[in-house]
Structure 1
């Protein structure tokens, strides 16, 4: 099959593209190669994908609609997986316009491509941040998600709503999946695990926000990829409606699915896991919760399990160990 994937030089897009290429599919990768973090890391990911004959990279911004149209028309994708975005909760406080341009204007361009190309399935990356400070746990897809705490979260919820309208108006089969704190090899340098391991190697303090009282539903990258590929084969429709818990819209072929294991860990437990694997204590700097942070994330995986038969299950110890090993092997590429 032919997959058009946005964000293939990014953390998640790279892993999804690599798995599909390993399975013999063709992938057209579209990425802006923005300097939000190390271009060396993005270039290293692209170089790894370039080893596969079925991969073709395109450098361009999501806001460049003519380029998107040209490349997608020439490729004729079966499935469009939209993973590119301006990421980062905290950065949205500094530069909200980047989120407007990429996550709203860029995502609308992707919707237009899906509509005009008549793709079999459009898949969109959303986030657990849309739940805000939801007091009800675990977070269920049908929970109210109308009180975002950051512009990043607001931009992702807006993308979901725009996609629903296209599913209704143009019958574009669409699945939006909400990620929960994804981590693993080739991860982003602005994420906690990357920052903590790097700081510990360099004997610097690690900054622990919320006085360490926060918790997160960590999702290992390989589990996430499994779920995305599983869901890509499940077109939203009445034939696979899940009684009682489904988010399948009555207005069009549109569904929202959490991708999380439903097993949150405390931030201090996360730090202690890193310390055990690194074989040294971290120099901890306890800080108050930052503006826009949420105290916890906690996925309900019930719909994901009902649809695919499985959920993320890699333990924190195994996942952190895999990241540390990767980082030690690739420091020269990413620092």
Structure 2
């Protein structure tokens, strides 16, 4: 990796932007992404509830680096010719490709999702639907993971006249320790959030949800189910795992195309002693930082990672910091209340600072 390279980074999320700003200290980098502002995904529940958005301009983040932001959408990869194909008709050549297209909310195979539900990525539309409704009604949040929990709590606190329901195929927050899950349930009880656990959604209609436990009426459906990787990696011919995540080696290189690095939610990364990493900001940004430094310096050891904590905001004044082991398994202890909320806010703010 000695000498100057043209590095193309596709995707400007936590992983891609962190890699681009660091690699751009030495190499010429083209960052390809259609948006002009950073999508701070872990704060989208705040946007949905009508809070102020925290989305720095990409040009400000990459300022002072040898990074050019090309506003376009990637439509394909020519791995043989080493070119990225864009919706503008252009084909951008590269010496090294960093694939960081990330993930999207799953569930598009469920009938009616596309027509009647608003995925978590459409937070601004959720905010608008609530604001423009002629009268308060019912919001059904589908998904009992971190995104669904934060979204349900934020909406219930910001819009107390609305009835908020959370519909989950399993237990809401079921992976937390007993103390952690117990706190989530107490907060929901205080905010008036109704739980429909062990309930699978079979269809979304104009009137709400059809589920394995009967109909759940809703005026607005916010779809916050599990995440799935962008399909382009598999379509382009990169080796992927059964979930569609690109399989990489210890240095985050594609096992089938070593000139392509894959980071963030798009990568199936297994770290000795830690296991296969889950999707999320907590794993994506460390991958981006590692790879950006590796590309800039030309050498480094294999990627290493250990988990720290899992944290949630539960409205503006409450939260949960779940203590965990380095392999992401739960410890019994958890921090709750205002201290947990302040801790989560500090972590989230630090994420933006760490992009450079």
The TM-score with structure 2 as length reference comes to: 0.37
The TM-score with structure 1 as length reference comes to: 0.39
Structure 1 or 2: more helix by fraction:
1
Structure 1 or 2: more strand by fraction:
2
